């Protein structure tokens, strides 16, 4: 996973985003800071052409419209055809019928390689009940490891559930990641940024489980480093997070990673 960070910096893969308008700038900057290249291209007239050049396709439901769903389906089908990893952030799945049906349709009509969401969103995708308000999960559930494993087995993808402890599963393997900081909850879009970092790792790592795990470790360490400098100041933390991502080194992933495999 540490070597994947070096691959990202060396190869500078293009990450094709069809994403959330609220955090488009944040996710583009996070992509650049980790060493990849962002493009925000949601128009259905060009998504198939654009994804051909991409190292990974990221789909984010944050500011969803029916037209965007159609674009996502077209782009994902083309990415599947070319063997390009598809990473889904099912923002607000379970909160509205549109978001839930869009996620269901993506899994039914395309191959999603990695899904990254909070516990409520992932529960909604497998028909479990969890409390959600808007796009925020209101509680962590016990047994989240089993939720991640069930999601992966049911949908045929790698599942990453982020929270106080991040959980990654491919249906067999499970990683528990303790990197991160509470300041990540004070800035909008950090979940979306985490998904972007996972997509960058997926462009460098064929093992989707390792890509998701490495991406979340990297983002968690960056959050810790940023908080050491910013203290309890969200605006300062936001800027420091970019600096921490840009300054992240391979040896830090090795020395600061707090991950258990079960």
CA distances from 17 to 38, 160, 233 (A): 7, 18, 29
Q: What is the pLDDT along the chain (262 residues), one digit of tens a residue?
A: 999 999 999 999 999 999 999 999 999 999 999 999 999 999 999 999 999 999 999 999 999 999 999 999 999 999 999 999 999 999 999 999 999 999 999 999 999 999 999 999 999 999 987 644 444 443 455 689 999 999 999 999 999 999 999 999 999 999 999 999 999 999 999 999 999 999 999 999 999 999 999 999 999 999 999 999 999 999 999 999 999 999 999 999 999 999 999 9
Task: Please give the pLDDT value at position 196.
Answer: 98
Reported as type and span, the H/E element at residue 176 is strand 174-177
The 3-state DSSP class for residue 58 equals strand
Query: How far is 9 from 32, CA to CA, in rounded Å?
Result: 10
Task: Please give the pLDDT value at position 137.
Answer: 44
Reported as type and span, the H/E element at residue 213 is helix 208-230
What sign for the dihedral angle of Cα 132, 133, 134, 136? Answer: negative
pTM: 0.94
Reported as type and span, the H/E element at residue 197 is helix 190-202
Query: How far is 104 from 196, CA to CA, in rounded Å?
Result: 21
Task: Please give the pLDDT value at position 141.
Answer: 56
Task: Please give the pLDDT value at position 135.
Answer: 43
Task: Please give the pLDDT value at position 143.
Answer: 83
């Amino acid at each position: 996973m540490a070597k994947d960070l070096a691959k990202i910096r060396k190869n500078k893969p293009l990450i094709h985003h069809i994403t959330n308008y609220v955090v488009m700038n944040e996710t583009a900057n996070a992509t650049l800071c980790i060493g990849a290249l962002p493009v925000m291209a949601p128009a259905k007239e060009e998504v198939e052409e654009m994804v051909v050049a991409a190292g990974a396709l990221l789909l984010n439901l944050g500011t969803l419209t029916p037209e965007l769903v159609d674009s996502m389906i077209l782009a994902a089908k083309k990415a599947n055809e070319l063997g390009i990893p598809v990473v889904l952030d099912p923002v607000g799945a379970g909160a509205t019928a549109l978001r839930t049906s869009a996620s269901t349709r993506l899994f039914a009509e395309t191959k999603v390689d990695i899904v990254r969401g909070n516990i409520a969103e992932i529960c909604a995708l497998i028909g479990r009940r969890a409390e959600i308000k808007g796009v925020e999960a209101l509680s962590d559930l016990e047994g989240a490891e089993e939720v991640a494993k069930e999601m992966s087995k049911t949908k045929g993808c790698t599942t990453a559930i982020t929270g106080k402890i991040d959980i990654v599963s491919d249906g067999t393997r499970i990683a528990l990641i303790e990197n991160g900081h509470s300041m990540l909850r004070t800035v909008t879009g950090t979940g979306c940024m985490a998904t972007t970092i996972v997509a960058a790792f997926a462009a460098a790592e064929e093992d989707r489980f390792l890509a998701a795990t490495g991406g979340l470790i990297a983002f968690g360490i960056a959050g810790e480093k940023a908080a050491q400098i910013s203290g309890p100041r969200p605006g300062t933390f936001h800027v420091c997070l970019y600096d921490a991502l840009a300054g992240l080194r391979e040896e830090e992933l090795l020395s600061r990673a707090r991950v258990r495999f079960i």
